Amino acid sequence: MSGPGSFAWFARHEARLAWRDWLSLMTAGHRRRARSVAIGFIVFVLFAHGLAWLMLATSGNLDGAADKRVLAVITGTLVLSWSLMLSQAIESVTRAFYARGDLELILTSPASSSRLFAVRIVAMAVTIVFMALVMGAPFINVLAWRGGARWLGGYVAAVALAMDAVAVAVLIAVALFRAVGPRRTRGIAQIIAAVIGAAFVIGMQFAAILSTGTLPRMAARQWAGLVRHAPDSVSAIWWPARAVLGGPAAMAALLGVAIVAISTAIWLVAPRFGQFALAAADMSRRSTRHGRRHARFHQASPAQALRRKEWILLWRDPWLMSQTLTQLLYLLPAAFLLWRNFYQGGSATALLVPILIVAAGQLGGGLAWLAVSGEDAPDLIASAPLRANRVLHAKTEAVLGGIALIFCPFVAILAIAAPRAALVALAGVGIAAGSATAIQYWFRSQAKRSLFRRRQTSSRIATFAEALSSMGWAGTGALAATGTWLAVIPGVITGAIIAGAWLISPARGTSLN
């Protein structure tokens, strides 16, 4: 049962790899940090529970009978959460298809590869369950504490929905493989994942907009209408919500559907997984022409050559395209708000400023990492007759140029409705992107572009500094847009955070030449 080549044997192997991978991700390869990571995890758990407690503090009647309104709220939350799970699952599945890793070892061994791929699909489901629980467990625990043990059904719902998400993701990936071929599947899957993931954030933004009373009348009207037109409370559509509320039949049904879904996905795909992965690997070897033949060379200075190279690579980076698309989608609610504000009058334009600044900071950090740390030919650049500071300037210009290209249209539209807010947004976007770029430069560590997803592991300080900087400048921008001098306070704090990052950065004391 657990001999070499069995399910259990493969599962043990995968679990060991996953554990070491996770540990390496958390500790950035430093075993001594394991204790700090454990302490950090405990702090995070306590913080998350505290936050959940605060957010649920005003929710009444948690132990009463569930009416249609409660069922609708729970269902809405589950739909949003599931969109995030599905987005993550599509990414995981696509990555698994395109990762060569041990593919050839597995396929050339006499062991049953379909067993291993079945284990891998289950492992993806476990990962998605884990991620769902990291986010959902504090809320479920607080609900169970305040409303009774029946809310522990939320765990069953989370596990079932994660299994469903992986099953659907596997089927989407296979369908794409068959429909558009391995070459286009990766890009399209990434875009689908980004759009679905963005749906979660956009939904949260709308929820925040509605709950903060920016659009109170419309919200109340629409919400009441939605609940009135929703199916009756005995409808099967509420089963997931009823499972969260601890309904035994609903829990059994939800789990049953999930088990059938994941089993079907495994049964359909595991025996062919190797073929798909080989097709994906073969695609990378097949020749395709890009661009014009005999394109002319460009008369360029070294800095111009560097900038052009960075722009080409950024443009051709599939991750970056999906990330940029996501960022732009995140701005949709803000754009919606701007549109309403423009026609109905009001002061909501000030709300757009921090959103633009945070998005610019986040995107700037990503672009800067790709340009500064994610240099695939560091020796080529280092052996070229160029001073390090010229290389840095050229790369910074490339990053900030990209940011300007993306955000200037938004700022220009904002300027029509509110010139003052647009001015603040323009300054904030520049400062946030510049700060993120500087932090990335101070904490740079050479890595392959393909390791982008793990850039946070190289420096936790840089990650936190980048996030705090974006949020700090957003806060400053939000206050500045309303015209209050209080904007100075978050501005000074953010400046201090960036100065602190510089003081503890490895770049301090090293000079450019």
Site track 329-368 with other proteins (rule: CB under 8 A), x = hit: ----------------------------------------
Verify binding: residue 509, other proteins, rule CB under 8 A.
Answer: no
Verify binding: residue 99, other proteins, rule CB under 8 A.
Answer: no
- Judged by CB under 8 A, the residue of 91, 164, 317, 466 near other proteins is 317
- As measured in angstroms, the least distance from the Cβ of 194 to other proteins is 19
- As measured in angstroms, the least distance from the Cβ of 308 to other proteins is 7
CB atoms within 10 A of CB 156: 19
- Judged by CB under 8 A, the residue of 211, 212, 235, 304 near other proteins is 304
Verify binding: residue 183, other proteins, rule CB under 8 A.
Answer: no
In DSSP notation, 59-93 reads ---SSS---HHHHHHHHHHHHHHHHHHHHHHHHHH
CA distance 158 to 137: 9
For 366-404, b where at least 16 C-beta lie within 10 A, e where not — what string? bbbbbbbbbbeeeeebeeeebeeeebbebbbbbbbebbe
Verify binding: residue 380, other proteins, rule CB under 8 A.
Answer: yes
| 441 class by beta-carbon count within 10 Å (0-12 exposed, 13-18 middle, 19+ buried) | buried
Two tokens, residue 373: 């740390």
Q: How many residues bind other proteins (CB under 8 A)?
A: 41
The answer to whether residues 111 and 2 touch, using CB atoms and an 8 Å cutoff, is: no
Return the amino acid letter for 336: F
Pick between residue 117 and residue 452 the one whose CB is nearest to other proteins: 452
Pick between residue 31 and residue 286 the one whose CB is nearest to other proteins: 286
Verify binding: residue 187, other proteins, rule CB under 8 A.
Answer: no
- Judged by CB under 8 A, the residue of 8, 34, 300, 405 near other proteins is 300
Write out the H or E segment, with its range, that includes residue 232. none
Verify binding: residue 512, other proteins, rule CB under 8 A.
Answer: no
Question: According to CB under 8 A, which residues from 383 to 402 bind other proteins?
Answer: 383-387
- As measured in angstroms, the least distance from the Cβ of 388 to other proteins is 10
CA distance 439 to 470: 11
Verify binding: residue 382, other proteins, rule CB under 8 A.
Answer: yes
Verify binding: residue 506, other proteins, rule CB under 8 A.
Answer: no
In DSSP notation, 165-204 reads HHHHHHHHHHHHHHHHHHHHHHHHHHHHHHHHHHHHHHHH
Verify binding: residue 100, other proteins, rule CB under 8 A.
Answer: no
Pick between residue 183 and residue 508 the one whose CB is nearest to other proteins: 183
- As measured in angstroms, the least distance from the Cβ of 439 to other proteins is 25
CA distance 312 to 4: 47
- Judged by CB under 8 A, the residue of 178, 316, 453, 508 near other proteins is 316
Pick between residue 133 and residue 386 the one whose CB is nearest to other proteins: 386
CA distance 392 to 369: 12
Question: According to CB under 8 A, which residues from 267 to 296 bind other proteins?
Answer: 284-296
The DSSP secondary-structure symbol of 291 reads S
Footprint of other proteins on this chain (CB under 8 A)?
284-302, 304-306, 308-309, 312-313, 316-317, 376-387, 449
